[in-house]
Amino acid sequence: MPHARHPSLSILDKPFGVMGVLNVTPDSFYDGGRYADPAAAAGQAMRLVEEGADVVDVGGESSRPGAQPVSPRDEIGRIVPVIEKLRAQSDVIISVDTTKSEVARAALDAGATWINDISAGRFDDGMASLAAKEACPVVLMHSRKTPRDMQEDPHYDDVLGEVRDELRACCDAFAGRGVSRENIIIDPGIGFAKRFEDNIVLLRNLRALATLGYPVLVGTSRKSFIGHITGRSADERLPGTLASINVAFSRGAKLFRVHDVKETVDFLKVLCAALNG
C-alpha cells in the first residue's frame, strides 16, 4: 500500500515555496568554505529561516562540475551537527542534499525530513528503499554521469523529451520500490550535464515536465548559464537568477532552490500579487 502524502508537503498548497541552500562544504561553486564550522552553518540556517525559507537544504558534498567525491563518513560529519543544531532551534523543513542512502539515513535520524538526490537514485540503489521506508518527500533531479565528469561533452538530440523520459523512469523506479508518488518532487537539473542551450530550452518548456504530474523544483541560483548570458561572476548573478525564477514560475515551477532567500521571497510575493490581483 503506498504511503500517504507527507504532511510537510503542505507547502505545495502555497503559490510558491523557497528552499534555501546551505552548503557545508569547502568547494561549492558560490558559498564553498563559508559555513564549514557547524556553529556558523547553523547560524546561516536560522538566517535563511528568518528570511522566509520554507525548506533548508543541507549538503556536505559539492556537486559543482569537476567536484571530487566525499566519503559517507566525512559527509555525515559535516551535516549532522548542523541539522541537529537547526532542528533544536526551528521546526523548518530540513532536506538533506545527498546521493548516499547512508548519509540520508543519518540526516533523517538527526532531524531532516526530506531527501534531495541529484542522482535520482542512480548512485545508490538503497535510496528508494529508504525513502519508501521513511515515507518522506524525495526530490529526484535529472542528471547524467557524475559531477566530476558531467560537463564533459553532454549531448542531447531532444533535451526536453530525453529529460522528461528519464525523469519519468526515475519516478517509476522509486514508485516501484514503494515510494508514494505523492511524495515525489522532480527537478530538471539545470546546469547538470547540460549545455547552455539545453538549460534555456528546459526553462522555456517547464510545463512539459509539469505534465508528468509531480511538483517541479528548479535550481538556477547564480549558475554559469546566467553568467554566459550576462558576463557576470557568481557574486553578481542575483538579478539574472530572479529573471530565471520569473520564467520558471510562469511555466509551472512550484519550488525554488536559491542562495538568496530574502530577495527571492520578496520577488515572488510581488510577482504573485501582481499576477493574481
pLDDT in the model for residue 31: 53
Q: Which domain holds residue 213?
A: 16-276
As a whole number of angstroms, the distance between CA 59 and CA 92 comes to 16
Does 1 reside within a domain?
Answer: no
- CA dihedral for 223, 25, 56, 8, sign (positive or negative): positive
Query: How many domains, in total, are found in the chain?
Result: 1
Q: Any idea which residues carry the catalytic annotation? A: 223, 257
pLDDT in the model for residue 66: 72
Does 142 reside within a domain?
Answer: yes
Give the CA-trace dihedral at 146, 152, 156, 161, to 10 degrees.
Answer: 30
- CA dihedral for 261, 206, 186, 69, sign (positive or negative): negative
| Nine cell digits for residue 187 | 527537478
pLDDT in the model for residue 29: 45
pLDDT in tens, 227-263: 999 999 999 999 999 999 999 999 999 999 999 999 9
Does 202 reside within a domain?
Answer: yes
Does 39 reside within a domain?
Answer: yes
Sequential DSSP letters for 207-233: HHHHTTSS-BEE--TT-HHHHHHH---
pLDDT in tens, 109-121: 999 999 999 999 9
Q: Which of 14, 15, 19 lies closest to 272, judged by CA?
A: 15
User: Which parts of the chain sit beneath pLDDT 50?
Assistant: 1-2, 28-30, 32
Does 11 reside within a domain?
Answer: no
Identify the CATH number of the domain in which residue 99 sits. 3.20.20.20
Give Rg (Cα) of the chain.
17
pTM of the prediction? 0.94
pLDDT in the model for residue 33: 53
pLDDT in the model for residue 108: 98
Does 3 reside within a domain?
Answer: no
Do the Cβ atoms of 143 and 150 come closer than 8 Å? yes
Does 52 reside within a domain?
Answer: yes
Does 5 reside within a domain?
Answer: no
pLDDT in the model for residue 81: 93
Do the Cβ atoms of 89 and 46 come closer than 8 Å? yes
pLDDT in the model for residue 276: 85
